[in-house]
Amino acid sequence: MEPTANVLELRGLTKDFLSVRAVNEVSFDVRRNTVHCLVGENGAGKSTLIKILTGALPRTSGRILLDGREYAPRNTRDAKAHGVSTLFQELNVVDQLTVAENLTLGTEDTSFGFLRKSRRIDRVIEILHSLEPSIAPRQRVSTLSVAQKQIVEIAKAVAAEADVLIMDEPTAAISEGEIERLFRIVKGLRSQNVTVIYISHRLDEIFELGDSVTVMRDGRHIATKPVAEVSGRSELIQLMIGKTVFEAYRQRSEPPGEVVLSVKGLCNRKLRELSFDVRRGEIVGFYGLVGAGKTELARALYGADPYRGEVAFHGRRLPTRTDEVIEAGIVLVPEERRSQGLFTILTIRGNVPVMNMGRVSHHGIIDGTLERRVARDAVAELRIATSSTEKEAAKLSGGNQQKVVFSKCLFADADLLLLDEPTRGIDVGAKSEIYDIIRRLSREGKSILVFSSELPEIVNLCDTIHLLYEGRIRETLQNGPELDSHRLLHVATGGV
């Protein structure tokens, strides 16, 4: 049968999670043997779409045609068997084995359970050699760099005769020279009968590498065009943002007060020479996409990760141990609420006082009545939707869980709050309530640092916006009626 012109065709693909529609009637084609880029902001639905393609998630409705035939993988193994391979950010190589062993992992020739030497391994090694001759098959994978491991995985996919290779943000963790090598290999894959679906937020890469590009926004397909027909970054950015309604930023009634936090030359492995000030009552935003350094900065300030540089809080040097930072008056609402922010097996009552047990105990003995009252007050103050404070935190909705994390942090009587992706994965109603809480805290004189990859969130909330890219502050803007949100996305995706 003649191979179809399109290796993949999506028709009305939809994915619902309870009440959230993550992928909404997405339809587009991917031409065979091209590099097809997929772009979109966080929350656009890219990851969900990819998970459906790789069999990690079932679709709710819609069709996918692979090579002209219905494609509905039951699981990831099924997807692989159909020729859809993926290169994830977390690499799927086994460090302890050699390159050759990794290349044949899962496809070994066996005889009654014992491995047999086969000719297949020769072919695979040949492929690897053609991609990157400097990697020796007998080498232990643990000695390879991230970039080299990526190449091993690519070789594996090619050897498995993959039709489609999906790459998810592959350049986030490798150096410039390695990026060039990766690009060379990716372009070469087209002549090896492999179609590459390339996801990246670094728009320059799209122009260098891509044959076509698909833009997604809010779970919908916005446009698919040949890259040659795209006029420039601003067109892509416009498509990515669209007519997103930005709730008007409310200008502050009073200007922020004196400087409370002063950061000079903060560096560590991922951050380079960051310097900025934060004033009393100010809401400062750090906007950046994957790998920009947001979480790293939040954690460094919090004492969770080491750093070099001068940080002064209320004029005194900021301690570098988390418990001392909390005592000094800074708290962190972490990125992952379930694994870092909450104790999911404990109840709301168990979670709320954790960061300031002194307030619910006398001489180290817990006062049960006080504890119960504190929990009830927290539920009322933040409007946590629950019938009782005895509910296990694990059973709350995402929005309510995040509110519990906020109560926890507020209970610590902090002056400055670090919020890492504060409304990720939360429904619109709870989002709005949390924004109100943040604004109220700012009016009360608390300073807030918001680390987020959601553009509307940064634009709605923050007085001052720092744009992060690759661990540096590329630009700083004051919010106001003149703010150009396109500029924000432009800089966050690598533009100047």
Partner 1 sequence: MVPGGSFTSKLSNESFLSLFMAGVLLLLFAAACVFVPNFYLPRNVINLLTNYWYVIILGIGVTFLLVTGHFDMSVGGNVALTGVVCAWACQAAGTSPNELANGLGLPYGAAVTLALLCATGVGAVNAFFIVRLRVPSIIVTLGTMMLSRGLAQVITRGAQRNTSLPDVFGVVGNTFLPGTPLKVAVLIMVVLVAAAFALERSTVVGRYTYLIGANVEAARLSGVKVNRHLTALYLLSGVLAGVAGILLASEFKAGVSSRATGYEFDALVIALLGGVSISGGFGSVLGMFVGAIILSVVTSAATGLLLSPDWQFTLKGVVTFLAILAQRFALDRRKG
> Which residues make up the interface to partner 1 (CB under 8 A)?
302, 304, 322-323, 326-327, 332, 334, 339-347, 349-351, 354-355, 357-358, 361, 364-366, 368, 372, 388, 390, 392, 408, 412
In the complex, least distance from residue 95 CB atom to partner 1, rounded to whole angstroms: 19
In the complex, least distance from residue 262 CB atom to partner 1, rounded to whole angstroms: 23
In the complex, least distance from residue 107 CB atom to partner 1, rounded to whole angstroms: 34
In the complex, least distance from residue 302 CB atom to partner 1, rounded to whole angstroms: 7
What radius of gyration do the chain's Cα atoms show?
Answer: 25
In the complex, least distance from residue 363 CB atom to partner 1, rounded to whole angstroms: 9
Specify the residue for token string 């391979």.
Answer: 85
Integer CA distances (angstroms), 392 to 311, 389, 404, in order: 38, 8, 11
In the structure encoding, which two tokens stand for residue 496, read together? 């100047």
In the complex, least distance from residue 343 CB atom to partner 1, rounded to whole angstroms: 4
Cβ-based nearer residue to partner 1, 251 or 339: 339
In the complex, least distance from residue 294 CB atom to partner 1, rounded to whole angstroms: 16
Q: What are phi and psi of 163, to 5 degrees?
A: -85, -35
Q: What are phi and psi of 411, to 5 degrees?
A: -65, -20
Cβ-based nearer residue to partner 1, 85 or 351: 351
Q: Is 39 helix (H, G, I), strand (E, B) or coil?
A: strand
Cβ-based nearer residue to partner 1, 86 or 400: 400
Cβ-based nearer residue to partner 1, 181 or 408: 408
Strands 195-199 and 164-168: parallel
Cβ-based nearer residue to partner 1, 104 or 347: 347
In the complex, least distance from residue 329 CB atom to partner 1, rounded to whole angstroms: 12
Query: Amino acid identity of 313?
Result: F
Cβ-based nearer residue to partner 1, 32 or 337: 337
Report the residue count for the chain: 496
Residue 66 C-beta-side C-alpha neighbours within 13 Å: 19
Cβ-based nearer residue to partner 1, 344 or 386: 344
In the complex, least distance from residue 124 CB atom to partner 1, rounded to whole angstroms: 37
Q: Is 6 helix (H, G, I), strand (E, B) or coil?
A: strand
Count of beta carbons in the 10 Å neighbourhood of residue 261: 22
Alpha helices in 267-388 (DSSP H): 294-302, 322-328, 348-351, 368-381
Cβ-based nearer residue to partner 1, 95 or 324: 324
- Give buried/exposed letters for 149-179 (b at 16+ CB in 10 A, else e): bbbbbbbbbbbbebbbbbbbbbbbebeeebb
The C-alpha atoms of residue 349 and residue 164 are separated, in whole angstroms, by: 50
Specify the residue for token string 């995985």.
Answer: 153
Cβ-based nearer residue to partner 1, 368 or 445: 368
Return all residues near 394 (Cβ < 8 A) that are at least 6 apart.
338, 344, 345
